[in-house]
Amino acid sequence: MKLSPQWLRDFVDLQVNYHQLADDLTLAGIAVESVSGDNDATVFEMEITTNRPDAMNHYGVARECSALYDLPLKPITPKLPASSGASDFAIQIEDAEGCARYTARIIRGVTIKASPDHVAQRLASVDQRSINNAADASNYTLWEMGHPTHAFDLDLLEGGNIIVRRARDGETLKTLDGVDRKLTSDDLVIADAVKPVALAGVMGGLDTMITEKTKNVLIESAWFDPVTVRKMSKRHGLHTDASHRFERGADYEATTLAGDRVAELILESGGGQLVGGLIDTVARTLDQAPVALRISEVHRVLGKQLDTNEIVRILKRLGFDLVPEPGEDPEFTAQIPSWRLDVEREIDLIEEIARLHGYDKFPNTLPAYAGAVVESPNAAKDEELRSSLLALGYNETVSLTFISHEDAEQFSDVPVLELANPLSEEASVMRTSMLPGMLNMVAYNLNRGTDNVRLFEAGNVFHGSGDQALQTKRICIGATGSAVAAGVHQPTHPLSFFDVKGDVENLLKSFQYNSIAYDTQTADYFHPGRSARAVMDGATVAQFGQLHPDIASARKLRQDVFVGEIYLDQLYKHGLREVRYEPLPKYPAVERDFSFVFADTVIFEQIQKAITSLQLNDLRSFVPVEIFRGGSVPTGKYSLLLRAKFQSNERTLREDEVAEWAAKITKALEGLGGTQRA
């Protein structure tokens, strides 16, 4: 967002230059990313974190300046003329969860025209287009004090009342952008006696907008539930300045002040007369619990003895009321202001003290520590996997540990852990799988022209179990593009399932095990014919393969993507494989080839199990060499060339015993329905 430091002077008598102000605000956590212009035309480009909607306006930043420089903060005090007559206009809130409070004022006899120059210039300084004096009054108030408001043409509201309710399935609303929106019961709307006239907290309706013909105005100032607004904004693809504030938590107590400020600006520029008093309908109250603050805890956490008067000064400048509590250890009860929804605990207050005192003023000291440093028991295993993945050409990445409900349902079936204050709907639960984050990172690279991508990430996944939160460690891999780089000695070819399987086998062979097998029992988000599960000593240690085409299409991935997860909680039950020296055999090896035709339903795992069950001690390897379909091979079948290698460490093998073993292999393959080719 953009902010005018000249506008801040309306509320705080700043004595520092604007570049110094930008530096000081940034050090206090209200980041100024860049400064443009000069003198009174200076503009700050701000980066305000999502938990600080109170600072997404000039008055909120002015409050920070007040605490920074210990200067008085001038209040916003709208001066309104006495109202005439009484108004019988009614406000009814049917959905108290969606709308806790709705405040309105009525002005009659307004002249709608261009805004005064000073208002238009202020809006232009923050990249806001001037529309008319009524709409600009609402926008001006938003950027001045941060609370969204809206103005309706009163004569276009039917029935003489406003109803805040859930939309009825099938209702429609044409919003101010000219788009007809089909509504559902999940939408919270502002309605008159006949129809919806606005999407609550998101955008007003076109049919009741202010025009040059408007004479009578209804000013809306309300508090809407953040989650409700966020879901509506996402569902309709509408992100507005109003929804941006409401999604993060507006000030419940600011509804009346914001409405009065809009009314003041409209009356100053367009004349008219206030009719009746303030219409303030409260469906439910929002109270923030007070927080105990111990001075000893402030000193312990910050590692510095701050003067109690300094602590009190900072918090009072920020709007916190401090009530001293009796006792030897100085203690206060802090009443949390309505605009600071992010402050809930004592440590939050201590953070406020630290950032306004100045992080640069704390001495550099090492924390006190007693005890021995204990290395993670799995450090060697972590390093083995990490070094192997790097050697295979994968780059290490880090993604958010938060995903959306939709991703959690698609990539896992375990109970989720929901965040109390999520950054967005797309990051509302702790991740139950690492695949969503990996797919986002692969897509990020593909969308920026990087066609060959190999990434891996090590981290935890989370799920609920009764009243407990559990976490397990995994490694996730993602790959797409070419298997090898093109060169003068070899052409390139696209990455395949077997390339990824080879990478997984490389990782797993670093561990000791009695048996390992691969089957096709994988999750439904994998391609059904190009995925596998690795089972080590009876436990699943990995799933990998090509992403299902439907999911790839939905995520707009333009080429085949291969992913996998290695379950470290199961894999780390096995120790690292000990490298042992084994001398080369003294006696020659004997190879025999077997060419068989199998039905497509016969997979190599079945063939491998059948040969393993023969328990031929001198069989060193049994591998597929060539596969062929078509030609003289009937449809639904394939020809497979298999090679067996026999070798003894004690003697040269005889021809008759090799022939006997070959006969057993032939019989086992025929038992699978195979037909030996001549």
Query: How many residues are recorded in the chain?
Result: 678
Sequence letter at residue 26: T
Model confidence at 329, pLDDT cuts 50, 70, 90, reads confident
pLDDT at position 544, please?
A: 97
Residue 366 lies in a domain: no
**Residue-wise pLDDT tens digits, 61-73:** 999 999 999 999 9
269/407 same-domain check = no
In-domain check, residue 82: no
pLDDT of residue 375: 76
Confidence of residue 217 (pLDDT cuts 50, 70, 90): very high
Residue type, 534: A
Q: Are residues 667 and 604 in the same domain?
A: yes
* Averaged pLDDT, 138-166: 96
Partners of 219 in beta bridges: 105, 151
For the chain, how many structural domains are there in total?
5
Calculate what percentage of the chain has a pLDDT beyond 70: 99
Tell me what the mean pLDDT of segment 9-19 comes to. Answer: 94
What amino acid is encoded at 150 in this protein?
A: H
SS3 264: helix
Whether 43 and 174 map to the same domain: the answer is no
Whole-number pLDDT of residue 230: 95
pLDDT of 364 above 90: no
DSSP state of 156: G
Q: Report pLDDT for 366.
A: 72
Name the percent of the chain lying above pLDDT 90. Answer: 86
How many beta carbons lie within 10 A of that of residue 418, not counting itself? 12
Higher per-residue pLDDT: 581 or 98: 98
The domain spanning residue 608 has which CATH number?
3.30.70.380
Give me the pLDDT at residue 425, please.
Answer: 83
Q: What is the rounded average pLDDT for all residues in the chain?
A: 93
Residue 163 banded pLDDT, cuts 50, 70, 90: very high
Give the span between the Cα atoms of 297 and 329, in whole angstroms: 10
Average pLDDT in the 449-458 region? 94
- Give the phi and the psi of residue 214 in degrees, each rounded to 5: -65, 135
Q: C-alpha 599: how far from its chain's center?
A: 47
Q: Long-range CB contacts (< 8 A, 24+ apart) of 66-69?
A: 66/11, 66/12, 66/317, 67/313, 67/314, 67/317, 67/318, 67/356, 68/24, 68/25, 68/28, 68/356, 69/12, 69/14, 69/15, 69/16
43 and 103 part of one domain: no
- Taking 80 as the threshold, does the pLDDT of residue 550 lie above it? yes
pLDDT at residue 595 above 90?
A: yes
Same domain, 449 and 529: yes
Q: What is the DSSP secondary structure assignment for residue 516, as one 8-state letter?
A: E
Q: Is the pLDDT of residue 614 over 80?
A: yes
Task: From 360, 392, 413, give the residue that closes a domain.
Answer: 360
Q: What is the DSSP letter of 167?
A: P
Answer with the one of 252, 282, 312 that is the final residue of a domain. 282
Structure confidence by residue, pLDDT tens digits, 384-436: 999 999 999 999 999 999 999 999 999 998 999 988 888 788 889 999 999 99
Same domain, 113 and 252: yes
CA dihedral 530→535→541→543, nearest 10 degrees, is 10
Residue 197 lies in a domain: yes
Same domain, 101 and 239: yes
**583, 587, 588, 593: CA torsion to nearest 10:** -90
Q: Three-state secondary structure along 569-633?
A: HHHCCCCECCCCCCCCCCCCCEEEEEEEEEECCCCHHHHHHHHHCCCCCCEEEEEEEEEECCCCC
Least confident window among 374-378, 427-431, 450-454, 494-498: 374-378
| pLDDT score for 666 | 96
Q: Are 109 and 181 part of one and the same domain?
A: yes
> With DSSP H G I counted as helix, E B as strand and the rest as coil, what are the percentages for the chain, rounded to 5?
30, 30, 40
Q: Across residues 563-576, what is the average pLDDT?
A: 96
- Please tell me whether residue 320 adopts helix, strand or coil conformation: coil
169 assigned to some structural domain = yes
Helix (H, G, I), strand (E, B) or coil at 526: strand
Based on the domain organization, do 22 and 167 belong to the same domain?
no
pLDDT at residue 155 in the model: 95
Which two three-digit tokens encode residue 126? Answer: 């923050």
**Rounded to the nearest 5 degrees, what angle is found at the Cα of 561, between the Cα atoms of 560 and 566?**
150
What does the alpha-carbon distance between residue 311 and residue 295 come to, in Å, rounded to a whole number? 9
| 485: confidence class by pLDDT, cuts 50, 70, 90 | confident
Q: Which helix (H) or strand (E) holds 45?
A: strand 43-47
Give the range of the structural domain holding residue 166, as residue numbers without chain letter: 90-282
Q: Hey, is 429 helix, strand or coil? A: strand
Domain match, 402 and 436 both: yes
Consecutive H or E run containing 210: none
Q: Is residue 81 part of a domain?
A: no
CA–CA distance, 637 with 675 (Å, rounded to integer): 11
- The CATH number assigned to the domain holding 198 equals 3.50.40.10
Is the residue at 153 inside a domain? yes
Q: Is residue 370 part of a domain?
A: no
Tokens of 63: 């409050």
Using the structure block, give the residue that is written with the tokens 């291969």: 562
Which of 232, 260, 282 is a domain's end point? 282
644-673 average pLDDT score? 95
For position 581, what pLDDT does the model report? Answer: 83
- Domain membership flag for residue 75: no
Kindly tell me if the per-residue pLDDT of 365 is higher than 80: no
| Domain shared by 129 and 258, yes or no | yes
Domain co-membership, 107 together with 38: no
Calculate mean pLDDT across residues 583-598.
93
CATH of the domain at 333: 3.30.56.10
